[in-house]
């Protein structure tokens, strides 16, 4: 893929923020600057962009746009042309209420932009997510075709919006489903077709750790399961600080691929969530709350 990946940049920013890297850190500052330059004229973002291309003109990517919004707002950066950004998400939402792909991260982005769960577009997307829950308490996802990614994102969006609370039946079903899929080695694993593997992979293990650490009540948190998974992640880290990628994502129905950045960003977020569950680290201000405050201030100033 030509250009620099917007989704990877947004996910990397979120991982560094989760580890409390200061917002003025040079690496974060450069990443914020890239996202600001890569924004399209319509307020959204494409999959990738390179400075030599001039104004971004590629096809709008909803998932990349959502990651860009969450990265910027989580760092206290205002989203340029916020009204156009909201409009870009609204145009991407079809008559079936879906914000492809996936709806859950787009919901989180719209909330970070200052919209309420009662907003008609957000409410329709939430209704769609609720309606897509499977009988076993999971959600599917076309990009990472396994029940961990879709389930973690869907439950996070429902809780962040206030549509559900930690401990509610729909969240408990999601948590219990993730727990049932833990492997004997302490982690979780699926191939890029979505078939379960007995040997765990870093990406799915990290997703499960963050979900179990943040979507459970402190008194009911599965610390034993989390501890086994955290050990697997710690032991899998390579000497250079990275984690080996697995072929867990797919371009289409015939081809899977590995992302070198995905296991790193997911593992950093998982470790931060596990440390918080242990009481070693408590965020000063939840990122979504911080983003909503910033969006409200920006929108008030534009009226």
43-75 residue pLDDT tens: 999 888 877 666 656 678 888 999 999 999 999
Q: Which residues contact 241 (CB under 8 A, 6 or more apart)?
A: 264
Q: What is the CATH number of the domain that holds 81?
A: 1.50.10.20
Burial 22-48 (b: 16+ CB within 10 A, else e): eeeeeebeebbebbeebbbeebbbbbb
C-alpha–C-alpha distance, residues 185 and 120, integer Å: 44
72-97 residue pLDDT tens: 999 999 999 999 999 999 988 865 44
235-256 residue pLDDT tens: 999 999 999 998 887 766 677 7
Q: Which domain holds residue 165?
A: 4-301
C-alpha–C-alpha distance, residues 14 and 206, integer Å: 14
Domain count, the chain: 1
Whose CA is closest to 32, among 65, 79, 64? 79
| pTM for this prediction | 0.87
Q: What is the pLDDT of residue 284?
A: 42
174-227 residue pLDDT tens: 999 999 999 999 999 988 777 888 899 999 999 999 999 999 999 999 999 999
């Amino acid at each position: 893929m030509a250009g620099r990946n917007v989704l990877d940049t947004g996910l990397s920013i979120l991982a560094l923020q989760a580890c409390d890297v200061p917002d003025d850190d040079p690496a974060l500052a450069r990443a914020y600057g890239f996202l600001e330059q890569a924004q399209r004229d319509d307020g959204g973002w494409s999959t990738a962009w390179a400075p030599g291309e001039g104004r971004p003109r590629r096809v709008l990517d909803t998932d990349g746009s959502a990651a860009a919004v969450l990265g910027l707002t989580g760092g206290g950066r205002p989203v340029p042309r916020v009204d156009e950004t909201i409009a870009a998400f609204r145009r991407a939402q079809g008559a079936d209420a879906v914000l492809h792909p996936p709806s859950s991260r787009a919901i989180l982005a719209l909330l970070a932009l200052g919209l309420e769960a009662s907003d008609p577009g957000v409410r329709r997307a939430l209704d769609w997510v609720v309606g897509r829950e499977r009988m076993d308490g999971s959600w599917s996802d076309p990009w990472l075709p396994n029940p961990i990614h879709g389930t973690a994102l869907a439950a996070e969006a429902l809780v962040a919006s206030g549509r559900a609370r930690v401990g509610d039946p729909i969240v408990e079903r999601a948590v219990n489903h993730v727990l049932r899929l833990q492997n004997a080695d302490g982690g979780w694993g699926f191939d890029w077709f979505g078939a379960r593997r007995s040997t765990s992979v870093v990406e799915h293990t990290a997703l499960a750790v963050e979900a179990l650490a943040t979507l459970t009540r402190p008194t009911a948190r599965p610390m034993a399961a989390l501890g086994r998974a955290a050990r697997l992640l710690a032991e899998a880290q390579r000497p250079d600080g990275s984690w080996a990628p697995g072929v867990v994502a797919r371009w289409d129905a015939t081809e899977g691929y590995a992302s070198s950045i995905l296991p790193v960003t997911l593992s950093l977020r998982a470790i931060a969530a596990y440390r918080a569950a242990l009481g070693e680290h408590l965020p000063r201000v939840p990122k979504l709350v911080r983003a909503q405050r910033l969006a409200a201030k920006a929108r008030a100033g534009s009226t």
